[in-house]
Amino acid sequence: MFLVGCQSNPNGQPSKFEAEPEKIEGRLSITGVRTNLSFSLQRLTPDLQTLRVFGSMGLGEVSVVYVNGEPSEGRFEGKLLSAEQMQETLRSKTGLMVPLAVLPAWIEGRADGRWPSLAFEDGFEQLGWQIRRVLQTQTGMPRRTELTNGELKIIIGVQRWQ
């Protein structure tokens, strides 16, 4: 999923030289949301990932389980929900229209290969969103990525790649 060389692949096509991180941790800044949010994206097996987003001291946690790259279920305020229910609950409770299916790829700074994308110099456009890799590590993994859709901007600050 990641190019361990100079830059990540904006079109999401894996290279044989790419390594998949076991865990990515960082912070989120969302337009209009004053809460300091943290996140972790963890690969449990080659086919199973979990995404957790939580407020200070673990309060207000939202989690999504991904099987083979697809969201399968999640938890919102402790309640178990299907992927469709998670997407709708996220929209109705927060007003955010963020496509859950592509979040792991976007957090990794790459386009999800299941949907068309248009690459540009420092990022790509996909599903009506512009994704810009603003800062990268020396290995090319994004340190800061900005997701923009109209007035909504989500800044992903990666603190740790493992």
42-88 pLDDT tens trace: 999 999 999 998 876 556 788 999 999 999 999 988 899 999 999 99
Q: Are 125 and 149 in contact (CB under 8 A)?
A: no
In the CATH hierarchy, which fold is given to the domain comprising 23-161?
outer membrane lipoprotein receptor (LolB), chain A (2.50.20)
Q: Which two tokens stand for residue 52?
A: 């957790």
Q: Which helix (H) or strand (E) holds 136?
A: strand 129-136
pLDDT tens sequence across 90-147: 888 777 788 999 999 999 889 999 999 999 988 999 999 999 998 777 777 788 899 9
Buried b (16+ CB within 10 A) or exposed e, 113-124: eeeebeeeeebb
Determine the residue type at 43.
Answer: R
Phi and psi at 79, nearest 5°, equal -95, 130
Give the CA dihedral 133, 125, 51, 54, nearest 10 degrees: 70
Domain boundaries, the chain: 23-161
Whether 8 and 132 have beta carbons less than 8 Å apart is answered as no
Asked whether the whole model's pTM tops 0.85, one would answer no
DSSP assignment, residue 100? G
